[in-house]
Structure 1
Amino acid sequence: MNRLLSFLRPLALAGAALAVALPAAAQAIRVKEIAAVQGVRSNQLTGYGLVVGLDGTGDQTTQMPYTAQSMNNYLQQMGLSLPPGASMQLKNVAAVMVTAQLPAFAQPGQAIDVTVSSIGNAKSLRGGTLITTPLRGADGEIYALAQGNLLVGGAGASAGGSKVQINHLSAGRVPGGAQVERAVPTPFALGETIDLGLNSSDFQTASRVTDAINRAMGAGVASALDGRVVRLRAPANPSERVAFLARVEEVRLDAAVPTARVIINSRTGSIVMNQAVTLGACAVSHGNLSVSISSTPVISQPNPLSVGGQTVVSEKANIQISQDKGSLIQLDTAPQLGDVVRALNTLGATPQDLLAILQAIKASGALNAELEVI
């Protein structure tokens, strides 16, 4: 027994050393997470409509004449006409824009959600009802009709000059409020090939997708046209293409390392970087400049026996400029994202200051990443 343990102990130690030496397995992703079938997409629909039934929170028709004109045209379609010279003073009607997304393969009769937004000076759309509104595509054709009660995720009240409001009251949604009237043709069943469009242009990802599909589906099924498009040789029978693409989307492959990139939001001061960002050795000096202005009131009074003297109030301003001493901080080489974060934290700078520091480090050549300002 002791001989068996003495024989197995070196093997266990060797296996542990081998496990430490081997790199971690790459993250496996599916094709459907990084690519989509070209030509199969949603379409934007828009329309102009009216919301009725508001509790006195609609458009002011004296300032928004198109609301009254739209209501007059709608009543004429219903067989009602106003006497000549009559003007409608509406308080319960609001002009709105209706938007929706027409999904791919949507068929007539299918219900889709719509978003309703006020385009006038209506105070609230809460409790309103959208009347029949045609939704048109970019080609001007009607693809859906919208109608229904609005759901507004807000509340508000005002009285005596005071006002309280929670969330937004000038926009709402109608779940399933539009019915598809026309289908959009797609090239899914046309031609001998199907093109997959990658979410981001990358030659390494296109090559890995091609190799993974050919291993799973057979040699010659996939071929990369460029860094964005992978072409598939699809079955001739259109009914077999659904099962074919279902298998292609489930093919797994190792995720490629993305391009090192740092995203900077100049409005909020947010900084986001991916795992491929590395930092070379550099030195950074950072100091703060502050300007303080203080004002002291100075009162000048006339003498007790003066005639016609007046008390004069003036201000004395004191302006000071101070600059902190900048310290030169050395940043060592950071080969991993965690090292980069720790190196930047040692600067003790605010997010707004880090924007300028990262740009300076990039200009010096020490930051191995692309800077993108949004």
Structure 2
Amino acid sequence: MFGRWIDLSALRWLHSLKLAVLTCAVLGLAVPATAEVRIKDIANFEGVRENHLIGYGLVVGLLGTGDKLSSSPFTRESIRGMLERLGVANLEGDTLKTKNTAAVMVTAKLPPFARRGSPIDITVSSLGDATSLRGGTLLVTPLTGADGAVYAVAQGAVATSGYNVEGNAASVVEGVATIAKIENGAIVEREVDFDLYQMNSVRIALRTPDFTTAARMRDAIVAKLGPRSAEVLDSGTVEVWIGDKGDVPGTITAVENLTLTPDSIARVVVDEKSGTIVMGADVRIAQVAISQGGLTVRVKENYQVSQPGPISVGGDTTVISGSPINIGGTTVVVPETEIEIEEIDGSFTILRGDVSLQELVDGLNAIGVGARQTIAILQAIKAAGALHADLEII
């Protein structure tokens, strides 16, 4: 009885294990193959965006690495104008010989809904022939928008990430010392007029327009907010209607966190400069035979120097005391050329119809081709009409 009880317990344990494995398998099949993303990660809300700002200013306090006033007249005139506004007048052009000032362009991005007094980051870039902005201080610089109005004012000590060291025989350059950043270097002085509560609807702009993705986005919003709460205007725009309460921020918060699976067209992107190839998961290739081979010719030039002895026949002559004397031979450079020819026989590999991305990569690896050869093969397949995807070469 005791032994039979052990056997029955083992059978029950095995039965429970089979049920657990079967449950895990069923749950695994229920998991979608593609990942879902939030709407806020693939789209923007119309009107909620940054605005670019730009300004012209001066960086002072440089250790002799500023603009040369002889070759940067705008820097000289800017220094004169600044000093005149501060009460220092009657300056002649020849008296300005400073090397501690550089003219710069200041750029920044005004965040959406930025309020007066809010700090923003700025980027300072040299405009003249300054070699480094390290250790400088940016003077008060107004930052204007596309409409010409001043939206922020920048000032502060610059921080560069690069350096430049020069000597008589060598120099060391690390990074770009003529570009600097100032965190919280500008203060917002003017706000962009935009009132969310005056809107009856909100438009969502897809960063990559696609009708299928727009339709899926509409379905996700309707499932959250109710029927007729959203509609597709075009491949890149979905309009969301605000409810009776008019809570625009609440509606945006509810919508931007919804998840969906974006769709994309089949595309192959090729960067010939670096040999980089990126292929989408939906790339398909019809049945095609591929053969890769070629002829490689290597040409190597070697130069040998023939140096004759101090006294040799046929060399240059000179006249000493009225008599010609041979002073030696002539140095001659003798080139030697080595040519190597290597021929690689190509072998055919057949890719059958409706080939997936993994099968395509396996097929190309089977014939031992590199990135450069793969680019040529993809172009040939596209020309043959067997590549069912967009081939984009950048």
- 2:320 is aligned to none
- Are 1:133 and 1:145, in contact at CA under 8 Å, matched by a contact in 2? yes
Q: Aligned partners of 1:111, 1:13: CA distance in 2, in Å?
A: 57
AA matched with 1:252: T
- Are 1:46 and 1:99, in contact at CA under 8 Å, matched by a contact in 2? yes
Structure 1 pair 146/361, CA: closer, same or farther in 2 (3 Å)?
A: same
Structure 1 pair 298/292, CA: closer, same or farther in 2 (3 Å)?
A: farther
**2:63 aligned with 1:43, yes or no?**
no
**Which of the residues 277, 280, 297 maps onto 2:283?**
277
**Which of the residues 261, 264, 267 maps onto 2:270?**
264
**Which of the residues 144, 149, 167 maps onto 2:175?**
167
- 1:369 is aligned to 389
Q: Aligned partners of 1:189, 1:20: CA distance in 2, in Å?
A: 45
- 1:246 is aligned to 253
- Are 1:95 and 1:118, in contact at CA under 8 Å, matched by a contact in 2? yes
> What is the CA distance between 1:313 and its match in structure 2?
4.0
CA offsets, 1:252-288, max 9 Å, x none? 33x0342111111122111112222233332212123
Equivalent residue of 1:126, what SS?
A: coil
Equivalent residue of 2:160, what SS?
A: coil
> Paired residues, what number?
372
- 1:294 is aligned to 300
- 2:201 is aligned to 193
Structure 1 pair 166/304, CA: closer, same or farther in 2 (3 Å)?
A: closer
Q: Aligned partners of 1:84, 1:8: CA distance in 2, in Å?
A: 96
Q: Aligned partners of 1:186, 1:284: CA distance in 2, in Å?
A: 59
Q: Aligned partners of 1:273, 1:156: CA distance in 2, in Å?
A: 41
Structure 1 pair 122/236, CA: closer, same or farther in 2 (3 Å)?
A: farther
- Are 2:36 and 2:262, in contact at CA under 8 Å, matched by a contact in 1? no
**Superposed counterparts of 1:103-122, under 5 Å:** 103-122=111-130
Structure 1 pair 305/83, CA: closer, same or farther in 2 (3 Å)?
A: closer
Q: Aligned partners of 1:341, 1:225: CA distance in 2, in Å?
A: 39
- Are 1:117 and 1:171, in contact at CA under 8 Å, matched by a contact in 2? yes
Q: Aligned partners of 1:204, 1:368: CA distance in 2, in Å?
A: 19
CA offsets, 1:153-209, max 9 Å, x none? 123323333322322111010000011111112363334211111121111111111
Q: Aligned partners of 1:213, 1:230: CA distance in 2, in Å?
A: 10
- Are 1:289 and 1:323, in contact at CA under 8 Å, matched by a contact in 2? yes
Equivalent residue of 1:290, what SS?
A: strand
Structure 1 pair 199/360, CA: closer, same or farther in 2 (3 Å)?
A: same
- Are 2:289 and 2:350, in contact at CA under 8 Å, matched by a contact in 1? yes
- Are 1:39 and 1:187, in contact at CA under 8 Å, matched by a contact in 2? no
Q: Aligned partners of 2:285, 2:72: CA distance in 1, in Å?
A: 58
> What is the CA distance between 1:237 and its match in structure 2?
5.4
- 2:160 is aligned to 152
Structure 1 pair 13/248, CA: closer, same or farther in 2 (3 Å)?
A: closer
AA matched with 2:194: T
AA matched with 1:170: T
**2:363 aligned with 1:343, yes or no?**
yes
Structure 1 pair 17/109, CA: closer, same or farther in 2 (3 Å)?
A: closer
Q: Aligned partners of 1:108, 1:97: CA distance in 2, in Å?
A: 23
CA offsets, 1:65-87, max 9 Å, x none? 11111111111111211344543
AA matched with 1:277: V
Q: What is the TM-score of this pair, normalised by structure 1?
A: 0.88
**Superposed counterparts of 1:134-149, under 5 Å:** 134-149=142-157
CA offsets, 1:325-367, max 9 Å, x none? 2222333456443333222222322322222211111222332
AA matched with 2:283: V
> What is the CA distance between 1:320 and its match in structure 2?
5.2
Q: Aligned partners of 2:24, 2:254: CA distance in 1, in Å?
A: 38
AA matched with 1:32: K
**2:229 aligned with 1:209, yes or no?**
no
Q: Aligned partners of 2:173, 2:59: CA distance in 1, in Å?
A: 21
Q: Aligned partners of 1:237, 1:13: CA distance in 2, in Å?
A: 50
- Are 1:151 and 1:172, in contact at CA under 8 Å, matched by a contact in 2? yes
Q: Aligned partners of 1:62, 1:153: CA distance in 2, in Å?
A: 28
**Superposed counterparts of 1:47-62, under 5 Å:** 47-62=55-70
Kindly name which structure, 1 or 2, has the bigger radius of gyration based on alpha carbons.
2
Structure 1 pair 179/152, CA: closer, same or farther in 2 (3 Å)?
A: same
Structure 1 pair 284/77, CA: closer, same or farther in 2 (3 Å)?
A: same
**Superposed counterparts of 1:285-324, under 5 Å:** 285-295=291-301, 297=304, 310-311=329-330, 312-319=332-339, 321-324=341-344
Structure 1 pair 307/372, CA: closer, same or farther in 2 (3 Å)?
A: closer
Q: Aligned partners of 2:314, 2:149: CA distance in 1, in Å?
A: 87
- 1:126 is aligned to 134
Equivalent residue of 2:146, what SS?
A: coil
What is the identity percentage for the equivalent residue pairs of Structure 1 and Structure 2?
A: 38
